[in-house]
Amino acid sequence: MNPKHVAYSVLDLALVSEGQTLKATFNNALKLAQEAESFGYKRFWLAEHHNAENIGSSATSVLIGYVAQGTKTINVGSGGIMLPNHSPLIIAEQFGTLGTLYPNRIDLGLGRAPGTDKETAEAIRTDFMQAAHSFPNEVNKIQTYFSAANDEAKVRATVAEGVHVPLYILGSSTDSAHLAAKKGLPYAFASHFATAHLWDAMAIYRKEFQPSKTQDQPYMMAGVNIIIADTDEEAERLATSLIRMIVGIFTGRRARVQPPTDMTNDLRDIMRNPQVHQMLKYSFIGSKATVKTQVKEFLDQTNADELIAVTHLYDIEARIHSYKLFAEIMNELQ
């Protein structure tokens, strides 16, 4: 049994499945958030990505508003907004507006990666690399715009001043750990795909953490891939859609999410590929009993304050069922 309460949350990319319209995709994102709310999930985050046919969450703040409007209690936010793509002033205005419309329910997770390929990043913002190097200062600007004390500045985000929208630093390397610790902010690590630096990043964040006005103790969130079905065999079958997504990432052919198939020897060989195996290291796939053992081990090792689950499946009902079983696991472990 885990000695502390560990929150559990959803990271969603508004996945576009083969044969599905974008409208259906957005409706499914809302449906998943509503079900997650009923299962006791703490937050529902949407990730910013661009130029990916299988991901619908590119206009992240717009989709956050849609999900927040259709839910009642669950926190809704960004996991994350890729800040170098944007003006900090505009992001403060967008999230200040969201925070006013949906009080105490909006989260602003901030990352420094582009969430896309090099050419698209340059199309979004020609000075992207300069903005990425200035990420700590850009975060400072966000904090300033949300501060009520900014009311006499020449440049203001008037709709954000004094609005409660907590900030989170997202990361997949140790750089972000130093920043989150220095600023005394919660830290969400993308261990659902960037597994190599998890342990170093956690150690740095906890060792260097400096209490802030908003956070007196370190708060560590870890991403995990979760695919749970009624049997190990069914979960393995559902996971074939994820494997094909990973192949698309490595080959540059990001097609819409494909229907699951029987697991083949070729797909098992792909899973054993060193790069794929490393990327999916924290992927817990199986029946409820199987995944419960894996999740307990991960919590015991990391002592994470919150797990944020990523479930890349073709069918929305299978995704909902997996998230339901994961919520049951988390409640049983504490």
**Tell me: the pLDDT tens digits for 7-53?**
999 999 999 999 999 999 999 999 999 999 999 999 999 999 999 99
Could you tell me the pTM of the whole model?
0.96
- The closest of 44, 55, 32, 71 to 320, measured between CA atoms, is 32
What whole-number distance in Å separates Cα of residue 209 and Cα of residue 310? 27
pLDDT tier, 1 (very low <50, low <70, confident <90, very high otherwise): very low
Largest CA distance in the chain: 65
| Distances from the Cα of 254 to the Cα of 11, 18, 227, 242, 251, angstroms | 19, 12, 21, 12, 8
Domains and CATH numbers, the chain: 7-238+283-332 (3.20.20.30)
Q: Is 219 left (phi over 0), alpha (psi -120 to 50) or beta?
A: beta
pLDDT tier, 176 (very low <50, low <70, confident <90, very high otherwise): very high
Beta strands 220-228 and 283-286, pairing class: parallel
What whole-number distance in Å separates Cα of residue 187 and Cα of residue 198? 12
Calculate the average pLDDT of the chain: 95
- Look up residue 316 and give its two tokens: 């929305």
- pLDDT tens sequence across 285-310: 999 999 999 999 999 999 999 999 99
pLDDT tier, 329 (very low <50, low <70, confident <90, very high otherwise): very high
Provide mean pLDDT across the span 321-333.
Answer: 98
Q: Please check the confidence at residue 130 and state whether its pLDDT lies above 90.
A: no
Given this model, what pLDDT does residue 133 score?
Answer: 87
Provide the percentage of residues in the chain whose pLDDT is more than 70.
99
What whole-number distance in Å separates Cα of residue 139 and Cα of residue 121? 19
- The closest of 104, 105, 173 to 135, measured between CA atoms, is 173
93 phi/psi in degrees, rounded to 5: -65, -40
Given this model, what pLDDT does residue 3 score?
Answer: 58
**Contact in structure between 243 and 269 (CB atoms under 8 Å):** no
9 phi/psi in degrees, rounded to 5: -140, 175
- pLDDT tens sequence across 71-102: 999 999 999 999 999 999 999 999 999 999 99
Amino acid at 209: F
